[in-house]
A and B are shown apart, each in its own frame.
Chain A
Amino acid sequence: MNHPHTDTGPRSTAELAPEPAVRVQDLTKEYPGGIQALDKVTFDMPKGELTSIIGPSGCGKTTTLKIIAGLIEPSAGEVMVYGKAVRGPGPERAFVFQEFALLPWATVLRNVAFGLELRGVGKKEREDMAREYIVKMNLAGFEDAYPHQLSGGMRQRVGLARAMAVDADILLMDEPFASVDEQIRRKFQEDLLHLLSVEKKSVVFVTHSIEEAVYVSDQIVILTRGPAHVSKVVRPGIDRSGDSQEIRRSPGYLDSVENIWDELREYLEE
């Protein structure tokens, strides 16, 4: 895919990566009624990496993600995707919703294909594409099932498959595993890492779980209590070549969790 390249110039955060997939610049959001959610949130999201946004609950993580998605307009500041200012949703970004957001009247097949349907892709082509991701997401055999017949974990796999099927470079995931069981959640995290190693996407991942953030992320953006600004950007640098149990016991992993916990504790005690 060709993306318009513009000169991003030297900036304080630009040393991390030469060409960020997403650049969030001085994002400020004030809701009607004077509630300020974000206060000059700034960070870069390197291409091909997974960036988590973490912070106290209600601090504006989801607001930040929805502004990147183009679903909410910021009060000030801007989001650049491949150097181009975001003015609304775009085909290079796909959103995965916390509450899945599946059409209850449509089958798994149609739900997975629905992103493509909305983008005007023909029936045959979009269903072929959808079937491919249904298999990749271990949903084979459930093509004709309806969402209410599926478990929470399966529904989120449908949501994930829908986002993957539109073949966007950037996945925006809003606490995608918050509504599924802990055991399934761990399996999902591994599946996600595996998928990303194959598909080469850039991901922004909102979570409230420190362990989850450290386990899956290349970079973690820690937001303060609202109005949120960036408290710290951490790169856990975890070696993911080994077994998942080993990773979760490794000193690097545990130190990262501890450091982020210390960072967040300040805001809890206020």
Chain B
Amino acid sequence: MTLLGRRIPMAFSLAIWCLVWEVIGRMEVISLIPPFTEVLRALFVVTPSQDFKTAATITFQAFAIGMGLGLVVGIVMGILMGRIRAFGELMGMWVNIFESSPLTAIVPALMAILGFGLPTMIVTVFLFSVWVIALDTQVGVERVNPSLIEMGRSFGANNRILFTRIVFFAALPELLAGIRLGLIRGLKGVIIGQLLIAVVGVGYLFELYSRNFLMPEFWALLIVIFGFAFIASEIVGYFERKVSFYAKSR
């Protein structure tokens, strides 16, 4: 951001928004918004608490397992869809339907089948993240310049070598974009799942805070989730930037 021809660091614009928040909070116009300093204070109360630790652990566990499954299944499915035409046609419609459907509606059904615990959360994360990863991987694999494949074959590469030395790297920019979007959706999935289950994890804490009108705690928890999502997507973004130099010139 620049103001009056001078570059202003990101932190400055963040500081302005925090100030605005603080002022609105102090004015007590909307009861949902406590002053920012109150939220900060709550942050130091909430995060060390045993409730938070239990909730964070189970949430992270569900997220990690669900994401792991989503990554493996999504990438493999995307590669197969991109490389095998018939498989792409067979799966394409379904993957697109699931990708664009409101999967939140399925969670209660999952609860009925899998119960109120970890399995439901894992499956929710998986279902939220897997489709976008598969679709982006497919796009990446399909866009691989055919003359690169011919080049590989002309030098005697077999399918495995073609894949590990050429197709994988050529598809990497799309693959990483898919992973980043998948991570964010997976995180949404775990929170939405827990909110609907309402008795476990971070979702339970959200329920607890909002029902008892503990707004500073509520916001503090939200900031923690934001922070986690931001860091996770920045880590993938770091790798995306590493490959961006060739993404444009393929």
Contacts and interface: CB of A to CB of B under 8 A. Distances in A.
Contacts of A70: 154
Contacts of A206: none
A46 interface: no
Contacts of A95: 150-151, 154
Contacts of A94: 154-155
A51 B147 CA distance: 23
Interface residues of A, number: 25
Given A104-B250, A146-B246, A148-B249, A71 B153 contact: yes
A18 interface: no
Contacts, number: 58
A166 B153 CA distance: 14
A117 B18 CA distance: 55
Contacts of A77: none
Interface string A143-154: 000111000000
A133 interface: no
A89 B148 contact: no
A90 B156 CA distance: 7
B152 interface: yes
A114 B150 CA distance: 13
A135 interface: no
A76 interface: no
Nearest to B169: A105
A104 B156 contact: no
A90 B153 CA distance: 10
Interface string B157-169: 1000100011001
A101 B169 contact: no
Interface in A93-126: 93-95, 97, 99, 101, 103-105, 114-115, 117-119
A119 B155 contact: yes
Nearest to B146: A101
Which among A66, A99, A103, A147 has the highest number of chain B CB atoms within 10 Å?
Answer: A103
A251 interface: no
B150 A104 contact: no
A235 to B, nearest CB: 28
A166 B151 CA distance: 13
Nearest to B172: A105
B30 to A, nearest CB: 51
B245 interface: yes
Interface in A19-76: 66, 69-71
A237 interface: no
B165 A118 contact: yes
A103 to B, nearest CB: 7
Contacts of B152: 118
B157 A118 contact: yes
B54 interface: no
A105 B169 CA distance: 8
Nearest to A117: B165
A146 B247 CA distance: 12
A90 B243 CA distance: 32
A94 B169 CA distance: 23
A114 B155 contact: yes
B145 interface: yes
28 contacts: A66-B150, A69-B154, A70-B154, A71-B150, A71-B153, A71-B154, A89-B154, A89-B155, A91-B156, A93-B154, A97-B147, A99-B147, A101-B145, A101-B148, A103-B169, A104-B246, A104-B249, A105-B169, A105-B170, A105-B172, A105-B246, A114-B155, A118-B157, A118-B165, A146-B246, A148-B245, A148-B246, A166-B155
